[in-house]
Chains A and B, each alone.
Chain A
Amino acid sequence: MRAVDALMECLKAEGVEVVFGLPGGANLPTYDAFYDAGIRHILVRHEAGGGHAAEGYAKATGKVGVAFGTSGPGATNLITPIADAMMDSVPVVFITGQVRTELIGTDGFQEADMLGMTLPIVKHSFMIQHPLEIPRAIHEAFHIARTGRPGPVLVDIPQDLSRAEIPYEPVTDVRLPGYQPTTEGNQKQIRLAAKALANARRPVLYAGGGVVNGNAAQELRDLAMSDRFPVTCTLMALGAFPAPHDQWLGMLGMHGTRAANYAMDEADLIVAIGARFDDRITGKLSEFAPRAKFIHIDIDPAEISKNVPAHIPIVGDAKNILPRLTSEYRALSADRGRLEEWWARIHGWQRQHPLRYEDSADTEVTPQFAIQAIHQATGGEAIVTSDVGQHQMWTAQYYDFPEPRRWINSGGLGTMGFGVPAAMGAAIGVPDRTVVCVAGDGSVQMNAQELATCAQNRIPIKVIILNNGFLGMVRQWQELFWDNRYSQVDLGQYPDFVKLAEAYGCTGVRLTDKTTLVEDLRAAIATDGPVVVDVRVTREANVYPMIAPGQAARDMVG
């Protein structure tokens, strides 16, 4: 069969349910194969939309997402999603067309050195040099994307090779001698960690996206509840521990709660699980958690001691390690009373510094209230995606996520324009759950074209724009750190999002009154098909509390 037909067979063998992509010259053969392959293909309007949709699908389902693009600009449009997937460890296989082999290196039409350009932002990549390599490369790409620390894998296929006739035989093994992720976790280290926990008087469990990727939320909960361990999560892990909960401190980091950040600051033992001590978590590194010893559990050994030296490193899969740690800990029958003082201190912070905002005196919608209204209107049960900026932080603060894979956002790369296509992917992956995209009026425009894709395919995402007419987070920083000099942040009231929604074939609604906001949102969300809700919010609201850049957690402001 043709190599492209073999490619389709490989996708089916990998259980691919949906592909997001856009055809062009170099992948015409591939798209010819799609014509009768029986694999669902969503024709996006921009390859970046397809890439982020594949990420949203992967994050919502835990399966590998797939995005296709043609050579040259089609491929380079995928660079942002690839980098995004790398930073947030999202399993996505990107398959790009390449010009014919005889044209490679000649600056041929729509030629781009995709392999070279993506080297620093892929988990791995394959440049096909012979058609017979295709089935194995595809199979190995999926294997690498999904196992170990997940990530993006690129397969670049020259057009002429994709048309070649090859004998297809299903590939059932992988031959990757240099790729053997450690999953087990050293038993001695686990035992040592249990003892350190039993000896700790001010412990904190600090969970990151690895807990979500590793499907280890239940295991995290079991460990936390084996005693009264306080738990905080990074932006990437929200939902990995159910919120609200007695032992839940809220998110930590730059816009985390004071309770979470102060607890990290005063902790004597921090158990980092699938987290990587990002600068948005640590603030000033030299003053981060100065009294703490660190147990660091991660499937990627390179994360351990990268930013913060670990006292007890444990390399492996959280799902495998956490239950063993819990049972070792239980066997020690530690004195439960020892955490009383610690909890008294934490409760003090929680009472004194809850998340708070000043509500408007009139009908104006404050953005924090808008998030609480969305929570109410969805019963807290939606999958929520977001773009990047103030609205993202407010959602992280005010929408309590009860389960993992409900909160889908771009954390590491911070990609504006992520939310709409990610929602589209999530809605396809989990069709029986409401999918809401909380967006900003700035970032939503960076991939608004996918509303056409949603309208055409009746993908019923509900895009809720917190519209303040600003690039709000940049404005906030200019206000706080740049003497109120608002440089290039005023977006005005353009476009008219209701008309834009309608032009795309979606329903458009504008909401401006907080007194009816919950019911209005409920009605909008209940409307069939894709809906865009333009919520006019306070123009100049700030995200607080905040660890100012380069400052220590204990010096939080706001």
Chain B
Amino acid sequence: MGEPGTKDMISLDELEAAGGLMTGRKHILSILVENKPGVLTRVAGLFARRAFNIDTLAVGPTDDPTVSRITLTLDGAVHPIDQVTKQLHKLVNVLKIRDLEPEETLARELALFKLSADGAARAEVMQICEIFRAKIVDVAKRSVVVEITGTTDKIEAFERLVRPFGLIEMARTGEIAISRGRNET
């Protein structure tokens, strides 16, 4: 391809189209928004309007009280991520969007599991919890509540292991994420 700034012509055949492509992997978007009423509705509404499907969503304050962080995950196999981020950027209350690189990102989720655990099962559940560094935060006669944090993979692995004991219910926060190193997310 001809160098910009020279008189070399470029051949049209050499031009590659950019964008509109599916990446095929999970994406974590970290979105800084103004902390104003209705902003979450605008973000969620945009996803509905454009037929984008949110996998998980977590909202919380940041170090700056005027700014909130929305962390959402979505599937790059079914969504053109650059189109999602460009549409999000058009929202006036959206300040910054980062499509976090998996290798440079720490992502964590908190989950609470209510398990039926009586008799021998209880010991086994406790053992699994120990391996996963999960905490038992409530004990009743025939059940326990377990708190666990980690990546989505870890939580799903934990779920697979404890489900046979009798999973009564489960609550998960959805992932939050922050970039590694000194630079801001």
Q: A: which residues have CB within 8 A of B?
A: 115-116, 119-120, 123-124, 127, 129, 144, 176-179, 188, 191-192, 195-196, 198-200, 268-269, 293-294, 300-302, 304-306, 308-313, 332
Contacts and interface: CB of A to CB of B under 8 A. Distances in A.
Interface string B82-95: 11001101111111
A293 B92 contact: no
Contacts of A311: 15-18
Contacts of B183: none
A199 B18 contact: no
A302 B87 CA distance: 6
Given A191-B4, A192-B4, A301-B86, A178 B34 contact: yes
16 contacts: A115-B38, A119-B41, A119-B42, A120-B49, A127-B37, A144-B92, A176-B92, A188-B5, A192-B4, A268-B12, A269-B12, A294-B17, A305-B80, A309-B18, A311-B16, A332-B7
Interface string B42-73: 10011011000000000000000000000000
B53 to A, nearest CB: 16
B41 A199 contact: no
A143 to B, nearest CB: 10
A507 to B, nearest CB: 45
B9 interface: yes
A195 B2 contact: yes
B19 interface: yes
Contacts of B19: 304-305, 309-310, 313
Interface-centre pick from A188, A304, A305 (highest chain B CB count, 10 A) = A305
B42 to A, nearest CB: 6
Contacts of A304: 19, 86
Say whether chain A's binding surface is mostly helix, strand, loop, or mixed: mixed
A309 B34 CA distance: 32
Given A305-B82, A306-B83, A313 B12 contact: no
Contacts of B157: none
Nearest to A269: B12
Nearest to A191: B4
B106 to A, nearest CB: 26
A255 to B, nearest CB: 27
A191 B5 contact: yes
Contact of B10 (A176, A192, A268, A300): A192
A302 B17 contact: no
Interface in B109-149: none
B17 A129 contact: no
Given A178-B93, A191-B4, A195-B2, A306 B20 contact: yes
A116 B41 contact: yes
B136 to A, nearest CB: 41
Contacts of B34: 177-178
Nearest to A307: B20
A179 B86 contact: no
A196 B45 contact: no
A477 to B, nearest CB: 26
Given A192-B4, A312-B15, A119 B45 contact: yes
A178 B95 contact: yes
B11 A179 contact: no
A147 B46 CA distance: 21
Nearest to A332: B7
A313 B41 CA distance: 31
Contacts of B18: 305, 309-311, 313
Given A191-B5, A192-B4, A196-B10, A302 B20 contact: no
A309 B16 CA distance: 9
A127 B2 contact: no
Given A120-B45, A120-B49, A199 B16 contact: no
A224 B34 CA distance: 43
B83 A199 contact: no
Contacts of A300: 90
Given A306-B83, A311-B16, 8 more contacts: A129-B37, A177-B34, A178-B93, A195-B8, A308-B20, A310-B17, A311-B15, A311-B18
Nearest to A300: B90
B170 to A, nearest CB: 31
A311 B82 CA distance: 15
B12 A293 contact: yes
A310 B19 CA distance: 7
B185 to A, nearest CB: 17
Contacts of B33: 178
A200 B17 contact: no
Nearest to B13: A293
Nearest to B96: A178
A305 B90 contact: no
B9 A199 contact: yes
Nearest to A312: B15
Contacts of A179: 92
